[in-house]
Structure 1
Amino acid sequence: MHRQLISHLAHADHPIAAPVSEANLIRLLTRAKLPSGARVLDLGCGEGAWLTRALDLYPEATADGVDISEEGLAAAAEAAARLGLGDRLRLHQTPADAFASAEPYELVLCVGATHAFGTLAETLDAVRRHLRPGGLALIGEGFWEGEPSKKLHDLLGTGPDDYADLAGTVARARDAGYATIYAHTSTRDEWDEYEWSWTGTLTRWALDHPGPDGDEAMAAADSHRDMWLNGYRDGLGFVTLLLRRTDQ
């Protein structure tokens, strides 16, 4: 089973592929205060949860979703069609760092997908290429809740500079040419709901599909749960920053 399929299965009960509740997702998008006819881009859109909510909130908006997951994009298309939003959503199966558009966007999202570009600074540089002057970015990124231990670094495969603390994360965005105009820091409950859903949904699928695929899915669920419970729970935070370009 490839990584994108495992992720698709694991997110079946929590299609927001980040530790963010539905209510807080809506609150972040509402704070964007997009103009009529806004263009929205999601780099690493997964199953399109952010885009379908944005299109519902802003009836004159159009959107592009970019991801490499065939399964995720199919789910996004299905959700958009079910909600009557399909005519305003275009989906592109391509790496996020390879996507190009002739027209800029009022809002660019990259929530929980900054790994597609590398560092936060590299993500923000890539996002800038798609934004209108004064445009907004909605970026979801991890941060250290405290001083990370060597065990945590080893589990996550991270170095000391891969993430900053919360203040340092905001400073990195500022240094990249963005002002933070709003943010949401995920709560312990949001993290737990996301992780129990991810691991539990995948475990249920594995039990319902005995055989090699089920065994692989179960191993992925067990590995992820162990990394969370014995590693980054309470050590790694998550913040979704609403940023505005200042370098114009």
Structure 2
Amino acid sequence: MERQEISRIAHRDHPIAAPLSDESVRELLERLLRGRSDGRLLDLGCGEAPWVVRALAAHPALRAVGVDTDAGALRAALRSAQRLGVDRRIGLHHRDVREFTASDPFDAVLCVGAAYAFGGIGPALDAIGPLLAPGGAVLLGETYWEGEPSDLARELFGDGVRDLAGTVGAVRAAGWLPVAGHTSSRTELDAYEWAWTGSLTDWALEQPPGPDRDRALRTAAEHREEWLTGYRDGFGFVTLVLRRAS
């Protein structure tokens, strides 16, 4: 099993690959698309594209593009778009987000949990800037630390994670300002982790004995242990709606 396949299975019961409830997703999309619901939306690192598919279903005049390196996730995204009848308004690109270019700018850009692919918040926003139309907005989702992280948490997530003030400071240093935001609740954070580990475990228990079953069970158990003993008490997630400072 490849890492991308494990991720798709783990998100089976929590299709938004971030610790956000359905209501939080709805509210964030409505805020991002305020005054832009008849424009163009881009999702960098879209996965199975749940954000853009939901946005297209809610806004009949909206058009969208999703970019991801996971071909299997993009196929699933197309099936979701077809089920909701929005497939003619979405373009899906199997490409590294750092290599994506467009001749026409977008009115809104999603980058939720994908800034790492650019090298961090600053480089991600630098790359997004040329893709955004004047007056456009960005939805950025990022992890942050609540208090002092444990040694295990630092080992798991590296040195690039900041506290909330530092995360907002990195956004401002890149020339952007938050116009709205959502910090995920403990309920949202826990629900995401239980769904991730539970979906993978549930899938594995339905499989015949073999290496795929063993790896899925092992991955779920390791992830659950790291979460419960390493980062549950210090992990946070913030989703910001951003506009250019000038």
Partner of 1:78: 79
Partner of 1:151: 152
> 1:112-139 CA deviation, whole Å, 9 max, x = no partner?
1222112111111111121112210001
Partner of 2:132: 131
Question: Deviation of residue 36 (structure 1)?
Answer: 4.8
2:136 is paired with a residue of what secondary structure? strand
Partner of 2:92: 91
Partner of 2:28: 28
- Does the 8 A contact of 2:36 with 2:108 survive in 1? no
| Structure 2, gaps ≥5 residues long | none
How many residues are aligned here?
244
- Does the 8 A contact of 1:186 with 1:238 survive in 2? yes
Identity %: 51
**Matched ranges for 1:1-248 at <5 A:** 1-32=1-32, 33-154=34-155, 156-159=156-159, 162-209=160-207, 210-247=209-246
> 1:98-117 CA deviation, whole Å, 9 max, x = no partner?
11111110111011122211
Cα distance between partner residues in 1 of 2:127 and 2:152:
32
Cα distance between partner residues in 2 of 1:219 and 1:174:
41
Report the more deviating stretch, 142-151 or 77-86. Answer: 142-151
Cα distance between partner residues in 1 of 2:10 and 2:89:
27
Report the more deviating stretch, 30-39 or 118-127. Answer: 30-39
Look up the equivalent residue of 2:79 and give its one-letter code. E
- Does the 8 A contact of 2:65 with 2:92 survive in 1? yes
- Does the 8 A contact of 1:43 with 1:113 survive in 2? yes
Question: Deviation of residue 37 (structure 1)?
Answer: 2.7
1:172 is paired with a residue of what secondary structure? helix
Question: Deviation of residue 57 (structure 1)?
Answer: 2.5
Report the more deviating stretch, 162-171 or 105-114. Answer: 162-171
Question: Deviation of residue 157 (structure 1)?
Answer: 4.4
TM norm structure 1: 0.95
Look up the equivalent residue of 1:12 and give its one-letter code. R
Q: CA RMSD in A?
A: 1.2
Cα distance between partner residues in 1 of 2:157 and 2:26:
32
- Does the 8 A contact of 1:34 with 1:58 survive in 2? no
Cα distance between partner residues in 2 of 1:241 and 1:229:
26
| Structure 1, gaps ≥5 residues long | none
Cα distance between partner residues in 1 of 2:195 and 2:37:
36
